Chains A and B, each alone.
Chain A
Amino acid sequence: MKRLWRRPVTVEMAHGAGDGEQGARVHFRDGLMKMRSRDGEGALAAFDRALALLPEFADAVMARAEVLDRLGRGEEARSEYERARRIWSALPPGAADRRYLFRQRGYFAFESEAYDLVRSNVRSRILPHLAHGNALLARGRASEALDSYERALKVKPKLPEALALKGEALLALGRYQDALQLFDEVLVVNPKDGETLNSRGIARLALGRIAEANDDWRRQFELLPFSNSAARACVAMRQGHYDAALHEFELARAKAPKNPYWLLYTLTAARLAGAPAESAPVDGGERWPAILLAFHVGQVTKEALLCRADTPARLAEARFQMGVLIAGSNPAAARRHWQDVVDQGPPALIEYAAASNKLARSNA
């Protein structure tokens, strides 16, 4: 334990201090080290520095809460615990049909530190490497995650679960052909692995093999239990099966009414399936994805929406919705929006698959 926490922080800070999340993570590690050495005030100061760089850094808020609690500052601690939970639960959830790690919400800074420590002690075991990789990949750090998965594969070279995760890292890095090869290997061993079918579908789609991608998602849909309506809905949406998607999203909404995506996708699927529009109360807001919903129901303009679309994925989501809204009145313009999604969006997005299928069918 001491080995990790006593690592020279200054070396790490040289690379990234003061630079957004990376810098915040360095201060976070510094705080953890002080926390474990019972330097409460020092830890609080380090977490404060982390939060100054990244105010929504829930891991630092939670660690800060624990320090305050131990110092007997109960009232302050309680509000910090709650703040951390609020931040985590406000992070947008991933698509329900994807591999488990993409459905997680968080910064996973504590986890990447903790599993790094574990793997330095139990080098020849799988879990610490995979968990470390997952903590990184879930935050989009695919290259580092790939390294972790490869370390796991050095221990067990043919382990299907590790191969699949390596495939996910490659997929995130845009190495679709390499990813596809790994997913093929995994599916030979576990042909009923629904999560890998989903990922292979994404890889195939990214390589332009849309029919085969739909085959994978069709198979995944068949394997998913009826109780998992959220995942079934997302798979149906990818394939452009809007009637099925509408039905499943309605079920998913009944289970998780606060999930903004389920309402957005319900409205989207209804519109694309030609079903009567639902007059659901929309709590439009400035945050993502609330603003998408607000746009969908006409509460904000496309300019305001595009202003908020600050990542390629968000831009793709926005363009997809812009296409959806005008699909009935101006199909050609809608197709142009969807073409933008396919040209510029990440292939793992539901909207990317749905747009691809829309375009393929309109061209057929």
Chain B
Amino acid sequence: MFSVILYGRNDSHGYNLHKRAAISFNALAEVMSDADDEILFVDYNTPDDHPTFPEAIHDTLTDKAKKVLRILRVRPDQHVRHRLKTHLVALEAQSRNVALRRSNPRNRWILYTNTDMLLVPRQEGESLSDILGAVPDGFYQVPRFEIPEMLWEAAFDRRDPAGNLAKLRDWAVRFHLNQVVHNYMPMKYDALGDFQAALREDMFAIHGFDESMILGWHCDSNLAARLALYRGRVDTLIDKVFGYHCDHTRVAAANNKGRATRMNDLDHYIWNVATPYVPAQADNWGWPDVEIEEIRLDRDTAYQRFTAGLDKAIDPATEPFVETSVEWQLFQDLTYDLPHTLPFVCDQMVTFPRSTALMLVAARSDFVGGFVKAWHGMGFSGPILVPMECDGLPTELSGVERAPFADLLPKADLFIFEFGLATQTATEPVRIGRPMTAIDKKRLKVIERLFKRAVALEAETRPEGRRLPRRFIGVNVIFNKFWTTFTNYVGANINPFCSQVLAGFPREDESLKGKVLKFRARQAW
């Protein structure tokens, strides 16, 4: 019957976002009763190495919410063309249009709201699907009522949406929450963006939200103005449903800078609207030709993929624990425990697109063998690119492409550089002062050179169409001789030794030292 369209990002948009959002997702799902109903959440521009916002809070969502939730992930590289035109990191019009394009065509209605709203049918037992199924075609709004922060934060149980809706029915009376704030037409009510229900067909006819609105604010009013023109009337559903907003003004959200807030031009986008349509985007609103990843929380989750990959690559431990050491005298010892390290490596990439092409530069053949199994087990379909310059690695692995480093560099979306000892065996103890052999030195020299060159040339060798820097993952680069090497070139955080892994983007070091390092790295091969 209807598709709810929401958007957001895995960041901290305002106070206690996680609780507000969980309450809202669960409450919206609770008032759905049609098999086609869905919540479309566009996760916009969350960094590639982070999970989407709903994945980050999945444990607080009800089974019903997980079942109806479709997450559409817009990657940073898909947002980058707008980056210089806006101060915002999440764009409402683009997000909502991406979802509209991909909404269930069997649904008659699109409901635009936000991740801090609860919709309470006035008739207990009635669902929003029932309500929308019974009303005639139109453009509907409801007034927004505020819930003081204390109430929702202290009294709501995230995973009890029915209980929360019952509490709201009670509070509305006890605490006089229901105040209708009228507004100038075409905005029938204040804060109208928290409930605008339009026919899906109408939204397609008017070309969705206006995607030139990239400075934030007023997207909802612009839509109201255009739909009001298109439909003639703005109808109300106040007799059917009350909309409650989890107030969050203790801490201003990122796009709220008080009187200094930058926003879309009010006159241009509301008072001078002259047509329902946006002909300039008639053919491309909602990015119809862009492949948008869809993520579900009720199946094929990141956790399921992660464990499936590791189960293929490593066997369960046979000892209560294994040992290593950060004692100073062991600084030169490059041995590490592969089964322990591999989960931390996989953790770095499970959130990347499945089609990612990965360059793998490694010394240990067992690392390559194990990683390739995990890669496929995690459901990645992109190739693993292994430079011909790396000797001693298995050659007949499925999905592995061998070619000269220079040929592979422009194909890679992501890099792993593994600085282990080619001669380390699976059974030998770790970090007990083992020296490098000549073969180890030779292989590591190659890896170090390739690493430096890859970082130095990263910007100029990106795959066609890619504009954002590529991420580098270093394995066995903490508290050993490659720690400095790696962090001279890659802006990695300080990580615990135990993980063995660092990751980050090429450093933009404009100091003399940085320039010298970059110059030398370019000559590294």
Contact = CB atoms under 8 A, between A and B. Distances in A.
A111 B233 contact: yes
Contacts of B186: 127, 131
Interface string B265-302: 00100111111100100000000000000000000000
Interface string A97-122: 00011001110101100110110011
B447 interface: no
A125 B137 contact: no
B232 A130 contact: no
B274 A88 contact: no
B57 interface: no
A289 interface: no
B228 interface: yes
A108 B233 contact: yes
Contacts of A156: 272
Contact of A227 (B137, B204, B235, B271): B204
Given A66-B238, A126-B273, A128-B271, A138 B232 contact: yes
B120 interface: no
Interface string A151-178: 0100010010110000000000000000
A89 interface: yes
A6 B513 CA distance: 75
A277 B225 CA distance: 44
A101 B185 contact: no
B136 A88 contact: yes
A125 B271 contact: yes
A65 B240 CA distance: 12
A156 B274 CA distance: 11
B135 A126 contact: no
Contacts of B230: 100
Interface size class of A (residues with CB under 8 A): 35 or more
Given A88-B136, A190-B279, A192-B279, A104 B232 contact: yes
Contacts of A77: 239
B184 interface: yes
A134 interface: yes
A135 B231 CA distance: 10
B132 interface: no
Interface in B368-423: none
Question: How would you classify the secondary structure of chain A's contact residues: helix, strand, loop or mixed?
Answer: helix
B201 to A, nearest CB: 8
B232 A106 contact: yes
A81 interface: yes
A38 interface: no
A330 B236 CA distance: 52
B51 to A, nearest CB: 36
Contacts of A118: 184-185
Given A69-B238, A128-B271, A134-B229, A115 B185 contact: yes
Contacts of B236: 62, 66
A65 B239 contact: yes
Contact of A100 (B184, B229, B233, B279): B229
A169 to B, nearest CB: 15
A152 B274 CA distance: 9
Given A100-B229, A108-B233, A134-B229, A78 B239 contact: yes
A247 interface: no
Interface string A305-330: 00000000000000000000000000
Contacts of B271: 122, 125-128
A126 B272 contact: yes
Contacts of B272: 125-127, 156
Contacts of B273: 126-127
Interface string B43-72: 000000000000000000000000000000
A130 B230 CA distance: 12
Contacts of A138: 232
A130 B238 contact: no
Given A101-B232, A104-B231, A227-B204, A89 B137 contact: yes
A78 B205 CA distance: 32
A161 B185 contact: no
A115 to B, nearest CB: 6
Contacts of A69: 238-239
A10 B120 CA distance: 42
B96 to A, nearest CB: 20
Contacts of A78: 239
B274 A127 contact: yes
Interface string B208-240: 000000000000000001001111110110110
A253 interface: no
A77 B123 CA distance: 13
A131 B239 CA distance: 26
A241 interface: no
A193 B274 CA distance: 14
Contacts of A85: 135-136, 235
A62 B186 CA distance: 17
B84 to A, nearest CB: 30
B239 A162 contact: no
Interface in A249-279: none
Nearest to A230: B201
Nearest to A108: B232
Contacts of B137: 89
Closest 7 CB pairs of A and B: A104-B232, A125-B271, A161-B274, A89-B136, A114-B185, A81-B239, A161-B275
18 contacts: A66-B236, A81-B239, A85-B135, A85-B136, A89-B137, A100-B276, A104-B232, A108-B232, A118-B185, A121-B184, A125-B267, A125-B271, A126-B274, A127-B270, A131-B186, A131-B228, A190-B279, A228-B205
Interface of B: 135-138, 184-186, 204-205, 225, 228-233, 235-236, 238-239, 267, 270-276, 279
Given A88-B233, A110-B233, A114-B185, 17 more contacts: A69-B238, A85-B136, A89-B136, A89-B137, A105-B232, A106-B233, A117-B184, A118-B184, A122-B271, A125-B267, A126-B272, A127-B270, A127-B274, A131-B185, A131-B186, A152-B274, A228-B205
